[in-house]
């Protein structure tokens, strides 16, 4: 398939990498809008992830924002958050820590139960996954109402981790999740949907 942008191959740190030149990739258009999924508008990132250029650009943009920060580990919530968080941790050269639903991790855990829109959920992390004072970058695929990321923050801080940033692939501006997080944290997203129409 012919692409609308020119690509050239460059060598960086001994690796062959494609560098995209020309017009900026439209990441937003690669997110599929599903108008009725479990009663809500659902923003499907699988269409972006399968496009190698868009996936690479998404991770590059997040890494560019956080590269000069002191970060020890990236922490992400299952499941789509793992995709973005692990790739970003690799790009930044730091460790990765998963937060999972209750009962999914094999070692001793610290857990937290929080209220979602219509139910309660319990998340957990290995008790030795984050050391006191470690600098943590929280990454997820989506910022909606802010409930899940607030629970992730509480769990990280319960272990003594210090949140140095919170990043998202997508932010649903119309749900005002950023307001729920307040001004304490550096919150960054690369795609913003201001209405349910996009």
Asked if pLDDT for residue 76 goes beyond 60, the answer is: yes
Number of domains in the chain: 1
Tell me, yes or no, whether 142 lies in a domain.
yes
Calculate the CA dihedral of residues 68, 12, 61, 5 and round it to 10 degrees. Answer: 160
Q: Give the active site residue among 21, 36, 117, 119.
A: 117
Asked if 117 is an active-site residue, the reply is yes
Q: pLDDT (tens digit, 9 = 90+) per residue, 7-52?
A: 333 333 333 334 444 458 999 999 999 988 777 899 999 999 999 9
Q: What sign results for the dihedral spanned by CA atoms 139, 82, 63, 175?
A: negative
Tell me, yes or no, whether 16 lies in a domain.
no
Tell me, yes or no, whether 8 lies in a domain.
no
Buried b (16+ CB within 10 A) or exposed e, 76-115: bbeebbbbbbebbbebbebebbbbbeeeebeeebbbbeee
* Residue span of the structural domain in which 64 resides: 51-193
User: CA 3: distance to chain centroid?
Assistant: 27
Q: What is the rounded CA–CA span in Å between residue 163 and residue 71?
A: 9
Tell me, yes or no, whether 70 lies in a domain.
yes
Tell me, yes or no, whether 198 lies in a domain.
no
Q: Give the active site residue among 80, 124, 171, 178.
A: 80
Tell me, yes or no, whether 44 lies in a domain.
no
| pTM summary value | 0.85
Tell me, yes or no, whether 187 lies in a domain.
yes
Q: pLDDT (tens digit, 9 = 90+) per residue, 117-175?
A: 668 899 999 999 999 999 999 999 999 999 999 999 999 999 999 999 999 999 999 99
- Please state the rounded mean pLDDT for residues 74-85: 96
- Please state the rounded mean pLDDT for residues 65-93: 97
Asked if 80 is an active-site residue, the reply is yes
Q: pLDDT (tens digit, 9 = 90+) per residue, 91-113?
A: 999 999 999 999 999 999 999 99
Q: What is the CATH number of the domain that holds 147?
A: 3.40.50.2020
Tell me, yes or no, whether 31 lies in a domain.
no
């Amino acid at each position: 398939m012919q692409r609308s942008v020119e690509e050239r191959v460059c060598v960086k740190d001994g690796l062959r990498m494609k560098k995209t030149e020309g017009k900026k990739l439209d990441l937003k258009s690669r997110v599929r809008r599903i108008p009725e999924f479990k009663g809500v508008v659902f923003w499907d990132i699988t269409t972006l992830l399968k496009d190698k250029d868009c996936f690479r650009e998404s991770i590059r943009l997040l890494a560019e924002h956080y590269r000069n920060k002191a970060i020890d580990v990236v922490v992400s919530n299952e499941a789509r958050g793992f995709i973005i968080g692990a790739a970003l941790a690799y790009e930044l050269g730091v460790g990765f820590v998963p937060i999972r639903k209750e009962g999914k991790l094999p070692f001793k855990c610290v857990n937290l139960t929080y209220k979602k829109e219509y139910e309660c959920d319990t998340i957990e992390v290995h008790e030795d996954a984050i050391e006191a004072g470690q600098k943590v970058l929280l990454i997820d695929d989506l910022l909606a109402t802010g409930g899940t990321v607030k629970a992730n923050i509480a769990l990280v801080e319960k272990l003594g981790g210090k949140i140095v940033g919170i990043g998202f692939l997508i932010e649903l501006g119309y749900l005002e999740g950023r307001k729920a997080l307040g001004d304490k944290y550096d919150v960054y997203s690369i795609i913003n949907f201001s209405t349910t129409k996009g």
